[in-house]
Structure 1
Amino acid sequence: MSGKLRIITTEDGSHSLYNDDLKESYHNSGGAFRESIHICMLYGLDTWIMNNPKKKPLRIFEVGFGTGLNAWLTLIWAEQNQIPVLYHTIEPFPLTEDIYSQLNYGDMDDAIFHYKPYLQRLHKAEWDKGIIMSEYFNMKKEKSTLQDVVLYPSDVVFYDAFAPSKQPEMWSKEALSKVCDTLSQGGILTTYCATGQLRRDLTEIGLEVETLPGPPGKKEMTRAWKR
């Protein structure tokens, strides 16, 4: 959803964006960097690799490319674990260079500082076309809505749309079903959202739902499995 954006600094020192029209931030105020690591890495990718130790190629679908933080951290994870990743992400309202060029994620940890140039490369990559970003990370960004995009099979889903109160169409059972229908057996969906309605809808769709501790600043999050 478009709107006037401004960069804000969250509690762990990392940047996020605030949409003045929606009165909504892209990340939890407790820390954008910590939030992505907690939800997408710890309870998403690290969980997947525990259950798939043979390091087979991993297919990921992300709802909401946004600041590129989830994609960038996934690229680093893929390189460090030497696991081939096929990353499919959608974003109907991509950031402009004057915004994404200022994001400070590459400065958050000395151990991953040398991956910093990849963040802008992810944003500058051509839309609607498969791109080889590194030895272990292939990506396709689509400038599309969830309703219009054609989905591929996925093993892990990062469901990172704006809150249900701001984008209710993204959290409808129809939208969730579209994503979950392409999730592989044993696949995982992770999201910061922890509403009772979301958990009920995912359960009715046929997923096994867990309520897990949230990242700093948020009490709970949701992970769902396709058993």
Structure 2
Amino acid sequence: MRTHQVVLAHIEEDLASGRIRVGDRLPGERALAEQLGVSRPSVREAIKILEALGVIRTATGSGPEAGATVVADPAAGLGAALRLHVATDHVPVRDVVDLRLLVEGAAVRDAAARPTTDGLDQASALLDAMDVPGLDAPRFLDLDGAFHVTLAGMSGNVLHAAVLAGIGGAVREYIGEGAARAADWPTLAGRLRAEHRAILHAVRDGRADDAEAMVRRHIEDFHRDTASDQR
């Protein structure tokens, strides 16, 4: 085991046992190095990994906010990991579509079971922005992605939104290519607007079955109608 992994294993054990909790500060770099018998650079490497994973937040200085504090943000870590793997360009578009079907289907079902006013208002505002006359396709698709992530965030499951944010680049790429291939983009955009409204209404009304069926059909139909030789 590499020395920085010793530090990671120690902190993981402390978190699992409850000796360290969210909001607590980790021991200082020197204290950890002496306690574990490792070098300070090894501790720094472990801290950087934990921060990238969304487990801690670091701040410089000497005040009460300085040092490494446990924050436990799984969305940050999972999203970053997914983005990196998708960026390798070895993830087929069909796999991305299938993941969306699973995650978004479950997310809107849960969102419909307990819709929140803030989430509904935010989603509605995004749809209003998509109705602006003369909106170009790239901006439309950016708002489209934000709408889907917002719906997922309403589910109450932090991993739903994390997964969608993580594959956001891959989703944006394939829907952008699909939109560019569309024979009649304005008509397609109009259809997408109507489908978005219907999904949001189903969530607002608590119609979980309808919301899930609609979002799955929405994702599948766009891929079917715009796919070419995508992987």
TM-score normalised by L of structure 1: 0.20
Which protein is richer in strand relative to its size? 1
